[in-house]
Structure 1
Amino acid sequence: MSAAMQALKSTRLITTERLMLIPPGRENLPDLIRLKADERVFGWMLHGVRSEQRTREELEDDIDFWEVRGYGTWCVFERATGDFLGICGLMERPDGRGVALRYALWPECRGKGYAREAARAALAFGHRAGLPRIIAVAREENEASRAVMADIGMTPAGDYRYQGHRMLVFESRG
């Protein structure tokens, strides 16, 4: 990686008390393949689990998105151990609803506050980057994700149906 690219990437790095959020690079592909192929994690996400090829394509899209938009998805690591915990970030929703906060961490991370910590940091970054409204969407039955959204200050902003599921929309206005 060039010095200029390294400097640019470091301005997009977020550290919290326990986490480090780093824009994804090709070196993260093995972790992303495992995460996105896991039904326990990506079974909840829009379009479900990903193939290895689709994960490769999404990584390239994520890298490009950062270059164009100045925000995107981060790989989330525990600072103390360096362990890969999952992803969190801001992406344009394909359905036109706007920029959305999304997060997907290993099930072993649940109940430890990591999703809240990463989501809060990503949301703050997005508002500092000039995004006036950021949404998040969760299935009605995904109580854990809904709790994260509420705990970081997002408020209910509607609902819709998708593939037989009631989807709840939350928003944050910066």
Structure 2
Amino acid sequence: MDLPHLVALQTDAATMRHYGGVQERANIERRLQRAIDHEQRFGYGLWSIYERQAGEFMGLGGFIRYNFDFDAETIEPVVCLKYEAQRRGHGRHIVERLHAWAHEAGLLHLTLGRVEVAHEHMAKLIASYEGHPRYPMIRSPADPEGRYLFYRLVPPSGA
């Protein structure tokens, strides 16, 4: 379900100029699986982000062990928005919401820059379900009007 959105996002040159350049589909598929594996192992990871009113896919956001290195002690915040969503205030709101979620989830030492977190602070994913039961959605007081929806990434059909 997420793969078509991720391919469109990560093969768009305007979007990816600040995110490491255009990616090949095979690399996108590998990183999607790595993101899913990361969340299963640590209880947090990347989510696909949708604007609530329009239901429009906006990009990715969340927290990962640095560059998906599962042995890394550093956790990095990640926000990658499609070009049309950039420079419109979405990124700031999304980062604030992710930061508030991290505190709720027990990742208490997070900052908005480099993030160092001890193993014992990696806690459960705080999630509730809305809409389709396959997609646990995170909620946060940083977004009280519910402007954005954050859904867990799911593998492509048949994977």
Q: TM-score, normalised by structure 2?
A: 0.62
Separation (CA, whole Å) in 1 of partners of 2:37 and 2:113: 22
Per the alignment, residue 74 of structure 2 pairs with: 98
Per the alignment, residue 143 of structure 1 pairs with: none
Secondary structure class of the residue paired with 1:100: strand
Separation (CA, whole Å) in 2 of partners of 1:48 and 1:127: 31
Secondary structure class of the residue paired with 1:76: strand
Cα displacement (A) at 1:86: 0.8
Separation (CA, whole Å) in 2 of partners of 1:54 and 1:81: 29
Q: Which one of 38, 41, 52 corresponds to residue 65 of structure 1?
A: 38
Amino-acid identity (%) = 27
The count of residues paired between Structure 1 and Structure 2 equals: 111
Runs of 5+ unmatched residues, structure 2: 115-141, 143-159
Cα displacement (A) at 1:39: 2.2
Runs of 5+ unmatched residues, structure 1: 1-26, 138-151, 153-174
| Structure with more contact order per residue of length (Cα contacts < 8 Å, sep ≥ 6) | 2
Per the alignment, residue 110 of structure 1 pairs with: 86
Runs of 4+ in 1 over 3 A off after TM superposition: 94-97, 134-137
Q: Which one of 109, 113, 120 corresponds to residue 136 of structure 1?
A: 113
- Give matches, 1:33-112, under 5 Å: 33-45=7-19, 47-94=20-67, 96=72, 98-112=74-88
Which of the two has greater helix per residue? 1
Separation (CA, whole Å) in 2 of partners of 1:39 and 1:116: 22
Separation (CA, whole Å) in 1 of partners of 2:18 and 2:86: 14
CA RMSD, Structure 1 to Structure 2 (Å): 2.2
Q: TM-score, normalised by structure 1?
A: 0.57
Which of the two has greater strand per residue? 1
| C-alpha contact 2:6 2:28 (8 A) present in aligned 1 | yes
Per the alignment, residue 4 of structure 2 pairs with: 30
Per the alignment, residue 126 of structure 1 pairs with: 102
Separation (CA, whole Å) in 1 of partners of 2:73 and 2:7: 27
Secondary structure class of the residue paired with 1:133: coil
Per the alignment, residue 121 of structure 2 pairs with: none
